[in-house]
Amino acid sequence: MIQNEKEMVFIMIEINNLSKRYNNNCMALDDITCSIGTGVFGLLGENGAGKSTLLKILAMMIEPTGGRVTVNGVDVCSEKTVIRNQLGYLPQEFGFYSRLTGFEMLEYFAVLKGVTDKQARKIQVNEAIELVNLAEVRNKRISTYSFGMKQRLGFAQALLGKPQLLIMDEPTAGLDPVERNNIRNVISELGRKITIVYSTHIFADIEACCSELAILRQGSLVFQGKPDELAKLATGMSWQIKDTASAKDGYMSLMELAR
Ligand SMILES: Nc1ncnc2c1ncn2[C@@H]1O[C@H](COP(=O)(O)OP(=O)(O)OP(=O)(O)O)[C@@H](O)[C@H]1O
């Protein structure tokens, strides 16, 4: 397994009064306060809710305009190197050198992550490739990969360097049901040892893997708790769509009712 139990570190992320206003005046996050411990933490929310913005701040890609985030008491804005050494990050959009093979690309990322020993690097890269089911295409150029394969390669790079904190923006997006299920299993397994924070639009992803979740809506935190607590809140509420509109319109009606 790619994680070593002996190196296990308990992570506690504290988010206090966090805000992010972009230069165009868009308030992407508005006074968010929550705690995230070891395990798998899911972030749910519709398009534009602020999920990617929060994950980018946790991954130190952007800075907040207000409030503070600490990881085990260390401020993410002032002690970036300390936290980067423990971090694996999968952004929503990921760039690869398409002329390289999947194996070569991951080796390159492993070097960037400081895995200097050649043998250790080979082992880590092969483990990551096996975990995301890319073994058969490891020696094929990335230019020949499907979208889902590239997504899984992005997932694999986040695992290199044995991070204790994994931040992933929609890791299951664009995957077929079999691969989505595999990635859910990998996330659940890794979440026994490290902290994983990931965003998704799919509640079934959260149900399958997360010990805790938060829901963002228009930059505000509207729920934090366990998946079954959210399910309890919805007990007794059910909706039937009677109109004959298209499935997409029906889905939109349901979302409006749910709100
Ligand atoms: N660089 C930026 N400059 C200006 N506004 C931005 C920028 N990035 C995001 N936003 C805005 O901030 C808000 C939150 O965006 P964000 O990408 O965090 O949402 P999201 O929940 O991840 O959405 P999605 O599910 O579509 O990925 C949106 O209104 C978006 O338009």
Cα 132 from chain centroid (whole Å): 15
CATH superfamily ID and name for 5-101+159-225: P-loop containing nucleotide triphosphate hydrolases (3.40.50.300)
Indicate which residue's Cα is closest to atom 30 of ligand 1. 48
Ligand 1: which of 25, 44, 51, 202 to mutate, most ligand atoms within 8 Å of CB? 51
Tell me if 100 sits within 8 A of 142, measured CB to CB.
yes
Nearest CA to ligand 1 atom 12: 28
What lies within 8 Å, CB to CB, of 1 at 6+ separation is: 127, 189
Most ligand 1 atoms within 8 A of CB, residue of 53, 54, 63 to mutate = 53
Report how far ligand 1's centroid is from the alpha carbon of 48 (Å). 5
Atom of ligand 1 minimally distant from the CA of 199? 22
Count of H-run helices and E-run strands, the chain: 9, 10
Query: Tens place of pLDDT for every residue, the chain, 259 residues?
Result: 455 544 556 788 999 999 999 999 999 999 999 999 889 999 999 999 999 999 999 999 999 999 999 998 889 888 888 888 889 999 998 889 999 999 999 999 999 999 989 999 999 999 999 999 999 999 999 999 999 999 999 999 999 999 999 999 999 988 999 999 999 999 999 998 899 999 998 888 888 889 999 999 999 999 999 988 887 777 666 555 555 545 555 455 445 545 5
Q: Is the CB of 251 under 6 A from ligand 1?
A: no
Residue 239: what pLDDT? 53
Q: Which residue has the tokens 């085990």?
A: 72
Choose which residue among 47, 61, 200 to substitute to test ligand 1 binding: the one with the highest number of ligand atoms within 8 A of its C-beta.
47
Q: In this structure, what DSSP letter does residue 101 have? A: B
Which of 200, 139, 194, 195 lies closest to 169, judged by CA? 200
Q: What is the pTM of this model?
A: 0.87
pLDDT at position 11 is 80
> Does this complex have an ipTM over 0.90?
yes
The answer to whether 140 and 101 have CB atoms below 8 angstroms apart is: yes
- Give the pair of three-digit tokens for residue 150: 């590239």
Res 6: pLDDT: 46
**Beta-strand relationship, 87-90 and 195-200:** unpaired
Question: Residue of the nearest CA to atom 3 in ligand 1?
Answer: 22
